[in-house]
Chains A and B, each alone.
Chain A
C-alpha cells in the first residue's frame, strides 16, 4: 500500500499546484533558514580531528597575578610563558608535545618573477606534524634532532609552494626569509581545516599558516610572536628578559594516548608548578588545566553566541512555516473529505486513511526538503560571500544533506499529523449521499 499511497500523494500534489507550491515553498524556506544556520553552527563546533581529539590536550598553567585571575571565569591564561613551554618540552613527559607560536617573516624568493612578500609562519616542534596530522604532498617534517639543533629548515604549505616553486617538488630547495636561508624538508598538501583549532587565540577560522619552521630556530633568530601576548607584570628590557618573563604568548599542546597517561601528566604539571612556586612564581592557587580539543573549543567559544541565536531564529522561522503548512494542509485535507468518506465506504479503515494522508504529507516534506536543500546551498553561498571567515564552515557535508531531508520529512509529517487526524475523523455517512 505504501507505493499506492505514494502514487496518490504525488497525484494529489499535481492536482492543486498552487496550494502544493505554497506548502512546498513554506517548508523549503523554513528548512533553508534553519539548516543554513545549523550547518554553520554544526561545522563550527564539529570535532576537527575526531579520531584523536580526546588524546590532544591544551596546556594551561595559572602563572597569573595574585590579585586577579587571567580570565573572568577564573580559568588560567590561554597561553603559557616561553620558559614554561621550554621546560615542558625539555621534560618531554607526554607521548608527543609541541609548543608553538605564530611569526611573520618577509620572504625573498629566488625567482625574480615572484615579488618579495610577507608570510605568516608557525614556529613549532617536529611533533606538531604527528599530532595534528597535516597531509604531506612531498617530503615530510623535520625531526627532533633538527629541533635540538635549531636547524634552518621549513615545511611549506601548498599555496606557498605554488607561489615559490610553481607547485613542483621543492624538497631540498632553499627559501630565504628575513635574510636567512631555510631548507625545505616537506610540502603540505591541501590541509582542509574547518577551524584552526591548534591556535584559537588569533581567530578560530583563519587559514593555517603558509609555512612551518622549528620553534627553536625562531627563538634563536629572535622572532617575536605575531599573535596575542599578555603580561601581568612588565617583562623587563631585552630579548632574554622577555623570554624569561611571565608574559604568555606560546600555545602548548601535548598528546596523551591513554587516560592513565593523562593522569600522569596532570600530576607532572602540578608537581612542576609546585616546584616553581618554591622559586617564587605561580602566586595563585594550583589551577592547571588540560582540556582536550573539544573542551578547548567549547572553552574558547568557537561557536559564538551570535551563531547560536541565529540558529534559534532559523528554527523559530521553521516553526512559523510549519504552522502555515498546517493551515494549508487542513484546507487541502478538508477539501478531500468527500474522497475520505468514499474511501471509508469502499473499505478503508481509519488507519489506512491515516497512512495515506501521512504519506501525502511526507511527499510534501520530501519536495520541500529537496527545494530546501537547494535554498540551503544558496544560503551558504551567501554566508561565504558575506562572511569570509566562515568559508571553511559554510558548506554542506553528507550528514547535513541527510539531516536536511530528514528534518523536512519530519517537519512535514508533524505538520500533517493534525490535519491527517482530522481527515480520519470524517464520518463517511456525512460525506456521501447514500
Chain B
C-alpha cells in the first residue's frame, strides 16, 4: 500500500544541509495498522507529510498503492491524495464556520461526486462515528472526542485506502482517547490501512506493528505482526507486514 525505499529528505539552505529523513525505508501492506513512534524531531512528521503527498522528497522512491509519486504534478498529487488518503489530525482541523455535514463534505467536493452521492456518503460516515443526529451542529458545539470523530468521518467519507493519523488522541482525555482508538481499530478491521504517529506506547502497542524512527531513520521495528482475534484482512494468515531495514 505504502512503500518507501531509501527515501531521503534534505532541507537545504545556502549554509547548511539538514537531513530530515535519511535512507528511510518502510513497506506498509494493505490492511495493516502501523504505529510510528520516535522522539520529537526524529522525522516522524516529515515521514507522514511525505506519505500524505503534502511534501516532496529529495531522493529515493515512494510508491503509493503501486503509483510512483515522484514527478507527479500538483493536480495529480491532489487527486491521488483525495482518492487514496484520509487524514486525521491531532488538532482535529475542522472548519469552524461549516457544520458537520459541510465539514465532511469538503473532500467529497474535490472528488467531484454528485449531490446525492455526497449526501449518502456524509450520512453514512457520520453515522459510522455515531454523529448522524448532529449533522447540522457546528464544531464548537461538540466535545473534543466528538470533533475527532467528525474528523474521522471526514477522512472516511471518500473511502480512502490509507488513513494517516497524527497523534489522533493527543488532545483527548483518556476516556475519549479510548473511544477514538476503538473506532480506528474498527475501521482497520474493515480493511482500511492505518499509519498512526504516536508518542503513547499504550496506543502503539495496540497497532499490528511498530516502527521506531530516530534521526530520520527507521531504527527498530516489529517484524512480527500481532495476532488478531478476527480472521480476514490483517490477520496473521493474511498479513505479511514487512519493514525493510535501511
Contact = CB atoms under 8 A, between A and B. Distances in A.
Contacts of B219: none
A434 B49 contact: yes
Given A339-B95, A434-B87, A346 B74 contact: no
Interface residues of B, number: 32
Contacts of A346: 81-82, 87, 106-107, 110, 154
B111 A349 contact: no
Interface string A273-289: 00000000000000000
B199 to A, nearest CB: 13
B79 interface: yes
Nearest to B107: A346
Select the residue from A339, A349, A352 with max chain B CB neighbours within 10 A.
Answer: A349
A17 interface: no
Nearest to B165: A434
Given A1-B109, A433-B166, A434-B49, A349 B75 contact: yes
Interface in B75-97: 75, 78-79, 81-83, 87, 89-91, 93, 95, 97
A338 B93 contact: yes
Contacts of A432: 54, 87, 89, 93
A429 interface: yes
B110 A345 contact: no
B96 to A, nearest CB: 9
B52 interface: yes
A28 B98 CA distance: 29
Given A346-B87, A347-B83, 20 more contacts: A11-B97, A15-B97, A343-B106, A343-B110, A345-B81, A346-B82, A346-B107, A346-B110, A346-B154, A347-B78, A347-B82, A347-B107, A348-B78, A349-B75, A349-B78, A349-B110, A350-B74, A352-B110, A434-B48, A434-B54
A51 interface: no
A231 interface: no
A4 interface: yes
A351 interface: yes
B186 interface: no
A339 B48 CA distance: 19
B111 A347 contact: yes
Nearest to B166: A434
Select the residue from A15, A339, A348, A429 with max chain B CB neighbours within 10 A.
Answer: A429
A433 B55 contact: no
Interface string A351-379: 11000000000000000000000000000
A416 interface: no
Contact of A344 (B78, B90, B97): B78
Interface residues of A, number: 23
B93 A342 contact: yes
A344 B54 contact: yes
Interface string A317-361: 000000000000000000000110011111111111000000000
Nearest to A11: B97
Specify the main secondary structure of chain A where it touches its partner. Answer: helix
Interface of A: 1, 4, 11, 15, 338-339, 342-352, 427-429, 432-434
A429 B82 contact: no
B153 interface: no
A434 B97 contact: no
A428 B164 CA distance: 15
A433 B111 CA distance: 24
Interface string B96-109: 01100000001101
Nearest to B84: A347
B45 interface: yes
Contacts of A11: 97-98
A183 B206 CA distance: 110
Contacts of B79: 347, 349
16 contacts: A4-B109, A11-B98, A339-B95, A342-B95, A345-B81, A346-B110, A347-B79, A347-B82, A350-B74, A351-B75, A432-B93, A433-B89, A433-B167, A434-B54, A434-B164, A434-B166
A338 B48 CA distance: 18
Contacts of B82: 346-347
The 10 closest A-B pairs by CB, nearest first: A347-B82, A349-B78, A347-B110, A346-B107, A429-B49, A429-B54, A434-B166, A429-B55, A428-B54, A349-B75
Contacts of A344: 54, 78
Contacts of A345: 52, 54, 81, 87
A346 B108 CA distance: 9
Nearest to B155: A346
A346 B95 CA distance: 12
Interface string B185-203: 0000000000001000000
Interface in B158-191: 158, 164, 166-167
